Copies of this chain bind each other. A is one copy, B any other.
Amino acid sequence: MIKEIKSKQNELIKEIVKLSTSAKRKETKTFKVDGFHMFEMAKSSGLLKEVFVLKEIPNLDVPQYLVSEEIMEKISSSKSPQGIVSICKMKEEKEVSSPRVLYLDGVSDPGNLGTILRTAVAFGFLDVVLSENCCSIYNEKVLQASQGAIFILNIVHKNNLEELKKNGYKIFATEIKGSISLKDTPKIDKFVLVLGNEAHGVSEPILKLADKRIRIDINDIESLNVAIAGAIAMYELAK
């Protein structure tokens, strides 16, 4: 189905603009992504619902809405829109099944969260668990920084660390106090890597649950950015 929309006042366009808000995303269980790369990833994942385009896309089996450049600028979250905005269904959350799990305990900066998700795919951490106080994965800055990782990962919102521990996962938390060096961390088949909040680190209840606390040895500066520390830990533990 292809349909042309000419007016910025069109009701559907107004609804799409509102998808920039968390409330509208929750209500409709959909979110929007920008550009061709994200469109391709959304299509492959089976989550694509409909697209708004400047030019028709051949052989596409979801509804297409042809819009003007003016409307495209209105619905796009990018400063320089590529000419395609894709509306996607939110992914269903599955049970954790990957041997390497990433647990994010209050990661609040959208750029950090998106970058961490992108890196998680790269190192095969295909299940990601988010604590309640993380920022939303559907935030547009998160989606941008994640480079479509969200379409590949199983991301769950559920504090199931105790359950994972019972199921044989070892819990590794990044924390300086009482820690062992990342380089000396035992290579284990089933584990959860926990990254903490930018300012406060991993929270106390989770530190108590952890089997090991791990640190990255660094010089002359207080700490690493959480996305950087997480990436180095994922790289090393996935070796």
Contacts and interface: CB of A to CB of B under 8 A. Distances in A.
Interface of A: 111, 115, 118-119, 121-124, 145, 147-149, 152, 183, 216, 218-225, 227-228, 231-232, 235-236, 239
Contacts of A222: 147
Given A115-B227, A119-B228, 8 more contacts: A115-B228, A122-B218, A122-B224, A124-B219, A152-B220, A228-B231, A231-B232, A235-B235
23 contacts: A115-B225, A118-B224, A118-B228, A119-B224, A119-B228, A121-B219, A121-B221, A122-B216, A122-B218, A122-B220, A122-B224, A123-B218, A124-B220, A145-B225, A147-B222, A148-B221, A152-B221, A225-B227, A227-B228, A228-B231, A231-B231, A232-B232, A232-B235
Given A119-B224, A219-B121, A231-B232, A239 B147 contact: no
Given A231-B232, A232-B231, A221 B118 contact: yes
Contacts of A111: 111
A96 B239 CA distance: 33
A146 to B, nearest CB: 9
A219 B231 CA distance: 14
Contacts of A149: 221
A86 B183 CA distance: 39
A156 to B, nearest CB: 19
Contacts of A219: 121-124
B224 A231 contact: yes
B232 A118 contact: no
A119 B226 CA distance: 11
A225 B118 contact: yes
A151 B228 CA distance: 20
A122 B232 CA distance: 12
Q: Which of A111, A124, A183, A232 counts the most chain B CB atoms within 10 A? A: A232
Contacts of A123: 218-219
Nearest to A120: B221
Nearest to A146: B221
